Amino acid sequence: MPRSTQQLHPFREPVATRPAATVLLLRDATAAGGAGGIEVLMTRRSDKASFAPGAYVFPGGGIDTLDAAPDTHAAADRRPSQSDLHLTQAIAAIRESFEELGILLARHAGGTRQGQMADAQDIAAIDRHQPFVAQCAARGLRLAADGVFLLAHWITDRDLPRRFDVPFLVARMPEGQEPVADEAEQFEPVWVRPADALARHEAGQFFMIFPTIRTLQRLAGFGSTQAVFDALKSEAPLWTSCPRAGTLAGKEARYMESDMPYGELALVCPDGQIVHPLDWQTERPVPLLRNVMRLTAPNPGVMTGPGTNSYLVGDPATGFIAIDPGPADTEHLDKLWRAAGGDIRMIVCTHSHPDHSPGAAPLQALCVQAGKARPPILGLPSAPTARAASQFTPDRSLQNDELLRLYGSAGEAKITHTLQAIHTPGHAANHVCLLLVEDGLLFSGDHILNGSTTVVDPPDGNMADYLDSLDRLDAVCAAHGVEFILPAHGYVLGGPVHTARGAIAKLKAHRLAREAKVLAAMQALPQGSMEDWVRHAYDDVPPRMWPVAQRSLLAHVERIRSQRPGNN
């Protein structure tokens, strides 16, 4: 992981989390005369609440010591697969839903009503302000914790002054019961379809906080309550998230681990500081660490995303290595040169494609014109298979595993920044990735992107080589403890939880799954054309992208055919 000396922001210990639990009470919308789908019970928090005042939420609250007591556990029904922790959380959610909304998830343990859920008479007999479990036991009621399932696990963002560790649980709304808010903590209980709640929030009529919004977005994909419970049989949450926040268009914006900016926020602001701008712009470099800057070229498009990322590695004491100067754009190269203070010691191109290498020679000339030493252009020469627009000859060819070092000192401290070159053919025959050894960062060029998969375009591209190179990068990440990947297009990937190796494994699984679809298309249409196969194998991709996808499809076809008997 990055050296602490290279972090942009001083270490800050996030506030400790408190255990809590919340429950989504669900019912089928058709049962209420709706048009189908599910409804969830929500309620508005007090405007004076210390956390999320005025927000519409699901009932819940802190976990009490008594919720975990053996006597309390003995008063609840549980599933054989339900752990003690999940039982405690379910009990807390049942207690809170009663105290806040008068909903009683309990059933009679004996007598003529054995197994029947609590009714209005039971609810009226129990005081919301007195010990809950003891009152239930006195009426012969057992807590229906066996009907409470774990949906998700949320941990409050690192930047907030009050933080909670919260399981989001789900249960069916008991028939015959009606929610009645306590009018102290909760107000205005309402049944709402997830999609409707989200639409009202967008319209400014139904304020919700980030975890609530994202939970409803996931819940909107289920067609019935039974579908929800069918998905939860494993007793594992469908997702776990501790969001991170940055700024976008001048406003705070929060992201889950599956969102593209998450890894970048984890790198730049590991302790949750909300200071990192996520807007794509080409006017100035974006500091990622003290020794890493990114300047995005003004060449956005279908193939380049927000633009080509040029990186500067180093600092004023050591000078800089420029990675992927990009297209020969005069203004972009001038900004890159100025960001380095004119002190560029080496220029490295990850490969020869026209959005990566043409800027190398003009950037070198800019350094010479300013009276600086001529920085060598490094990389691998384009192969004979490269297209005409991708011709590239470096001043010197990099050797596989070669180390490029910058040295300097600040007072008594010696400073080094070392890039290890890793030959990774696949996207292009001359593709190179770079490992910043001291900080465990992988500059992946076009081999690994954020938000899309790279095109593997034969003959210069080769799918077998591409997959082998992924394996090599995985081994490098394992050996050096790499957590973050800095791609040539898109935000930084990875982090302590969703690591660089995880991103590589996910990418390889995606490629192999796509190849299985290509093989299935070839078998279903043995006389089919490439156009026929791409329609079947890339049916989840917009048709406008099929001409591009067909290039990678050809790479898969070549790999499939090379693996057949007799094609060794």
Q: Is residue 341 part of a domain?
A: yes
Residues 208 and 253 in one domain: no
Residues 248 and 328 in one domain: no
pLDDT at 448 over 70: yes
Question: Which residues are paired to 397 by β-bridges?
Answer: 379
Mean pLDDT of 186-194: 94
pLDDT of 508-546, one tens digit each? 999 999 999 999 999 999 999 999 999 999 999 999 999
Residues 382 and 522 in one domain: no
How much is the pLDDT for 497? 85
Residues 214 and 249 in one domain: no
Residues 173 and 272 in one domain: no
pLDDT at 247 over 50: yes
Residues 32 and 70 in one domain: yes
Q: Is residue 158 part of a domain?
A: yes
pLDDT of 26-41, one tens digit each? 999 874 444 679 999 9
How much is the pLDDT for 567? 57
Query: Is 192 within 8 Å of 182 (Cβ atoms)?
Result: no
How much is the pLDDT for 566? 62
How far is it, in rounded angstroms, from Cα 409 to Cα 372?
20
User: Which residues form the domain of 529?
Assistant: 514-562
Residues 480 and 408 in one domain: yes
How much is the pLDDT for 35? 60
- Nearest one of 244, 274, 279 to 259, comparing CA atoms: 244
Residues 488 and 553 in one domain: no
Residues 413 and 469 in one domain: yes
pTM of the model: 0.92
Handedness of CA 119, 124, 128, 129 (dihedral sign): negative
Residues 270 and 395 in one domain: no
Q: Which helix (H) or strand (E) holds 138?
A: helix 132-138
Q: How far is CA 516 from the centre of its chain?
A: 25
Mean pLDDT of 351-357: 97
> Distances in Å between the alpha carbon of 333 and those of 73, 279, 298, 316, 369?
67, 20, 11, 18, 13
pLDDT at 304 over 70: yes
How much is the pLDDT for 32? 46
Number of folded domains that form the chain: 4
Q: Is residue 10 part of a domain?
A: no
How far is it, in rounded angstroms, from Cα 174 to Cα 154?
25
How far is it, in rounded angstroms, from Cα 316 to Cα 291?
9
Residues 228 and 125 in one domain: yes
- The proportion of the chain whose per-residue pLDDT surpasses 90, expressed as a percent, equals 91
**Local structure of 150: helix, strand or coil:** strand
pLDDT-based confidence at residue 1 (cuts at 50, 70, 90): confident
pLDDT of 99-120, one tens digit each? 999 999 999 998 888 889 999 9
Q: Is residue 285 part of a domain?
A: no
Q: Is residue 138 part of a domain?
A: yes
Question: Which residues are paired to 436 by β-bridges?
Answer: 419, 441
Residues 30 and 171 in one domain: yes
pLDDT-based confidence at residue 334 (cuts at 50, 70, 90): very high
- The proportion of the chain whose per-residue pLDDT surpasses 70, expressed as a percent, equals 99
Which residue among 480, 502, 524 closes a domain? 502
How far is it, in rounded angstroms, from Cα 11 to Cα 205?
38
What is the rounded average pLDDT for all residues in the chain? 94
Q: Is residue 567 part of a domain?
A: no
Q: Report the chain's terminal Cα–Cα distance, integer Å.
A: 41
Q: Is residue 9 part of a domain?
A: no
Which residue among 220, 252, 279 closes a domain? 279
- Nearest one of 82, 46, 101, 110 to 169, comparing CA atoms: 82
Query: Domain holding 464: CATH number?
Result: 3.60.15.10
Q: Which helix (H) or strand (E) holds 197?
A: helix 194-202
- Nearest one of 211, 180, 283 to 57, comparing CA atoms: 211
Q: Is residue 568 part of a domain?
A: no
How far is it, in rounded angstroms, from Cα 280 to Cα 470?
28
Mean pLDDT of 76-84: 96
> Distances in Å between the alpha carbon of 357 and those of 159, 215, 347, 365, 459?
40, 44, 10, 14, 19
